[in-house]
Structure 1
Amino acid sequence: MWGEDEAGPFQTIPHPGQQWGPAGHPARYPHEHVRNGTAKLLTLFHPASGAVRVQGVTSCRNPVLHGWLKAELRAILAARPAPPEPVSAAANRACWERWQEGLSQPITLSAALPPLRLLLVLDNLTGHKTPSFVCWLFDHGIMPLYTPLGGSWLNMTESVQRILKRRGLAGQHPTTPEAIIAALEAAAQGWNAAPTPFVWGGRRSDRRHRRRQRQHALGGSGACTRWPLSVPGEYWLFREFGAAGCGWRDG
């Protein structure tokens, strides 16, 4: 499974963040900057290995995006072993259709389908649903999976893009789109030197779960307490007197 997304546009402005500098001499950003164009980062991400493929561009129209995607996907498929031939055409189609179970608007599959080789997670941009592009994916054994509206965070590619953006542009002031592209591609090259696989859950999810278990929300607000408030009088005392309520609880 691979994910695809386009990060940006990134402007030629000072980007906040930490940077090296002499002690006592903090970095100063100019009070004026020239808007000299923008840049975007086309990204393909493989969560299982952490590998990322990127391309910086100044325009992200369909011919640019589709041309880059087709070239990269061909290279990915060429590096994979040839899939085994399906037992029957019906079994092969069932392998494709199982990824559309439960969808309110399933994609119309081609009449003749090759063996399924790759899953590609995309967001709901209109350009990702161009019939000619979708048919090209089908012809090469690639099943597009679109994130639901308002659920683009389900695409892990957005997570790695935030990391690359922070590593490449934080604390920098690029003055040209070419400088932005060079910084982001260099950050991706450094990431690929020691990639980190992405998984749902993991240690960060465990820490958040333990934190929620140690605290108790108050009335659905952002406030919380470390002790469960089961008696209405305790909640009133906590609300009115803050820490005094906790002291009353402890006797």
Structure 2
Amino acid sequence: MPHRPGPAAAAGRDGRDRHRPAGGPQKELIERAYRTAEALGLQLWCQDEAGPYQAIPQPGPSWQPEGSPRRRPHEYVRGGTAKLLTLFRPATGEVRAEPVEHATNAVLHPWLKRELTAILAACSPPPATPPAGRRWADWDAFAATWGLDDRRPPLRVPLIWDTLAGHLSIELGRWLLDHGILPLYTPLAGSWLNLAESVQRILVRRALDGHHPETIQQLMGWLAETVRGWNADPTPFEWAGKRAARRRRARDRRHALGGSAGYSRRPICRRRHATAPSPNGVTHAY
């Protein structure tokens, strides 16, 4: 099975071992997937479970006329909670989502298998001999040892998600490998690597901000309608991670020239290489 982030021992200031997630290589792999997967013919998807969201008055702006603010009830009955199961393809902006009351494995796993099967059906057929970048060995350091390229179907979909206990299921992991899906796990405190969380914030804000869902069915209905509205005109996302931003700033680093709008790509040398006395006794630098 592809590499999962695990604990690594590190010494603290007091000399005792600390267990920290060894997710560095996984972060680089996820960033590489965002940049190159679609260009290689692989459909990149992100997955997350948003919520729970309560059926109570939600904070946020409203379209009430000026001077007539929306009045919220001082007493209300909690109408339950809902979660939003989300699959997001950054390259096209497509969202596959379903509001549910519970996100247990009994609910999550069948939904994942159903949606991923539909995604695979829409993918182009894999080539008989996968080119460079589309082999398991190109994405997993242990693929050659496990013989994934010989015993599994060609790689077709990288899937970025977190380390939820349900995602670490052995049965689900085998199902993914048998269908050519490579799970990439975001490390601890690495939610910024999952673009599904970004689109979830937008969808939930549109659906609930400033409203008062009174029942769980009403809340789930609003979430589903917002997803349909998003898919009517989806917005593609592009990866611009922290490392990419730092590298871009380094490439674009320029040295301004005083008194003009020009610049140079390298600093102007200011060293005084040689001096020569003038007839009047003043020393000049060259």
- Partner residue, 1:167: 206
1:181 aligns with 2:220: yes
How far apart, CA to CA, are the structure 2 residues paired with 1:93 and 1:198?
Answer: 22
Deviation digits for residues 210-249 of structure 1 (CA, Å, limit 9, x no counterpart): xxx9xxxxxxxxxxxxxxxxxxxxxxxxxxxxxxxxxxxx
1:100 aligns with 2:140: yes
From 196, 203, 224, the counterpart of 2:235: 196
SS at match of 2:47: strand
From 24, 30, 36, the counterpart of 2:73: 30
- Partner residue, 2:192: 153
How far apart, CA to CA, are the structure 1 residues paired with 2:147 and 2:165?
Answer: 18
Deviation digits for residues 184-221 of structure 1 (CA, Å, limit 9, x no counterpart): 1111111111111111239xx79xx8xxx9xxxxxxxx
Q: How does 1:101-140 map to 2 (within 5 A)?
A: 101=141, 112-140=151-179
Root mean square deviation, CA, Å: 2.6
- Partner residue, 2:102: 59
How far apart, CA to CA, are the structure 2 residues paired with 1:37 and 1:199?
Answer: 35
1:92 Cα deviation after fit: 9.0
1:13 aligns with 2:53: no
| Stretches of 4+ aligned residues off by more than 6 angstroms | 91-94
1:79 aligns with 2:101: no
How far apart, CA to CA, are the structure 1 residues paired with 2:167 and 2:147?
Answer: 15
Q: Which amino acid aligns with 2:214?
A: T
1:15 Cα deviation after fit: 0.7
1:29 Cα deviation after fit: 1.5
- Point out where structure 1 has 5 or more consecutive residues left out of the alignment: 214-251
1:180 Cα deviation after fit: 1.1
TM-score, length-scaled by structure 1? 0.73
- Is the CA contact (8 Å cut-off) linking 1:92 and 1:115 kept in structure 2? no
Structure with the greater alpha carbon radius of gyration: 2
- Is the CA contact (8 Å cut-off) linking 1:92 and 1:113 kept in structure 2? no
How far apart, CA to CA, are the structure 2 residues paired with 1:128 and 1:109?
Answer: 23
1:63 Cα deviation after fit: 1.5
How far apart, CA to CA, are the structure 1 residues paired with 2:72 and 2:227?
Answer: 26
TM-score, length-scaled by structure 2? 0.64
- Point out where structure 2 has 5 or more consecutive residues left out of the alignment: 1-43, 254-286
- Partner residue, 2:13: none
How far apart, CA to CA, are the structure 2 residues paired with 1:194 and 1:35?
Answer: 34
Q: Which amino acid aligns with 1:41?
A: L
Q: Which amino acid aligns with 2:239?
A: W
Q: Which amino acid aligns with 1:49?
A: T
- Change in 2 beyond 3 A, CA 1:159/1:129: same
- Is the CA contact (8 Å cut-off) linking 2:88 and 2:94 kept in structure 1? yes
How far apart, CA to CA, are the structure 2 residues paired with 1:39 and 1:109?
Answer: 41
How far apart, CA to CA, are the structure 1 residues paired with 2:146 and 2:55?
Answer: 42
Q: Which amino acid aligns with 1:174?
A: P
How much identity, in percent, do the aligned residues show?
Answer: 53
1:93 Cα deviation after fit: 11
How far apart, CA to CA, are the structure 2 residues paired with 1:59 and 1:48?
Answer: 29
1:95 Cα deviation after fit: 1.8
- Change in 2 beyond 3 A, CA 1:189/1:93: closer
How far apart, CA to CA, are the structure 2 residues paired with 1:136 and 1:72?
Answer: 13
1:2 Cα deviation after fit: 0.1
- Change in 2 beyond 3 A, CA 1:94/1:161: closer
Higher fraction of helix:
1
